Amino acid sequence: MASLDVGSTYSNYTDFNNAVIAFENENFVQFYRRDARTIEKVKRLNPRHYYNPELKYVNIHLTCIHGGRNFLSHSKGVRPKTSTCRVGCPALIKVKTTEDGERLVVKEMVKIHNHEVSEATFKHYPKRRQLCPAERAKCSELLAKYDGNKRLVIEELTKVTGKVILPKDIHNIAATLNCPPKCERKKHEVIKGIRMVMDTDTKLREQARKRRPGSAFKDPRRSEKKLVLDVDTGLDDAQAIMMALAAPNVEVLGITCVSGNTSLENSCRNTLRVLKVCQRLEIPVFGGAAEPLMGHLLSSGTFHGQDGLGTPLTQTPRAWSCCRQKELWKPSSGWSMRTLERCAW
């Protein structure tokens, strides 16, 4: 194999490329083609000049991967500057064709580098870590064998290839596969878990409906809110009571009634009528103030109907008794407060 130095000549491009590869492996450096002109392009401008077609290039400029001319940046400086391997290394190789166009000759060569040159650094270069198709196929087999464990794949693949393998290299190969076995199994486990939760919820809902028709399903995994409703039950508050009773994870501890949309007596009666329809008469109902503690009573009149639920009161409900009120006085606060007893039919 021909050596690589100033004045060295090559009869074809393959010999020159092999000489560059041998020089890189021997000196632990790496070059890239910074600039080149192909024979095909030059012959368009000067078709009479002869060039050996096996040379492929009229001139070639190789530069160390840590050097080369910096490109003009058009960045506005909004994003932070990213790291780069460019440190202005002066090492280069310039090759041109001979006058007769038969051979390639090395015209200039700089072997001085301004950065660390070592075997360890050389093996970490991306080009040196690149795997051939056979090695990539071996990596795919190991991913399946070790269930996607990158550490085990790296250890065995390093023994087989002798190359430095990084986790990101294995990740890139795994990403090109259709679906790694470990990911596929995890996906099925997640789907199975979701189906089990949905089946459990369906069974719990059916049990709740059988136990108490029309009641809301309460998810035991969520915290339950405890409410005390204060209403003047007309059409609007009747609907609010039903929504509270049907809401999941809500427990109505009791309901207090006052006058407002309708009288206190109608408010208590309507509340009990709503609870009876919802089959929730176990919830205690308490009667409050028949008129405001301060100011004047403002009523909606017959807007909510004569009984407050939009229908005329044609008959008195059976066993109806109104709430009795007992007044307690707290001198420290100056407010009149009442203990309320449950309304009952």
3 state SS of 134:
helix
Structure tokens at 338: 């009442």
Instruction: Choose between 198 and 170: higher pLDDT.
Output: 170
Question: Average pLDDT over the chain, rounded to whole?
Answer: 78
List pLDDT tens digits, range 270-293. Answer: 899 889 888 888 899 988 888 887
List pLDDT tens digits, range 230-251. Answer: 998 888 888 899 989 888 778 8
Burial grade of 60 (CB within 10 A; 0-12, 13-18, 19 or more): buried
Q: Where in the sequence of the chain do the CATH 3.90.245.10 domains occur?
A: 225-340
pTM higher than 0.85, yes or no? Answer: no
Per cent of the chain over pLDDT 90 is 21
Structure tokens at 40: 């095909």
pLDDT value at position 313? 47
Name the H helices within the chain. Answer: 13-27, 39-45, 119-123, 126-129, 133-145, 150-161, 167-176, 181-211, 235-246, 264-277
Between CA 300 and CA 306, with CA 301 as vertex, the angle to 5 degrees is: 120
Q: Which of 222, 211, 283, 280 is nearest to 254 (CA)?
A: 283
Domain 225-340 has CATH 3.90.245.10: yes
Strand partners, 63: 32, 92
Is the pLDDT score of 72 beyond 60? Answer: yes
Q: Which of 321, 323, 326, 322 is nearest to 336 (CA)?
A: 326
Structure tokens at 115: 């950065």
Instruction: Choose between 220 and 120: higher pLDDT.
Output: 120
List pLDDT tens digits, range 79-120. Answer: 666 667 788 899 999 999 999 999 999 999 999 999 889 988
Instruction: Choose between 184 and 254: higher pLDDT.
Output: 254
Q: How confident is the model at residue 325 (pLDDT cuts 50, 70, 90)?
A: very low
Q: Concatenated DSSP letters for 254-304?
A: EEEE-SSSS-HHHHHHHHHHHHHHTT-TTS-EEE--SS-SSS-----TTTT
Sequence-distant (≥ 6) Cβ neighbours of residue 223 within 8 angstroms = 249
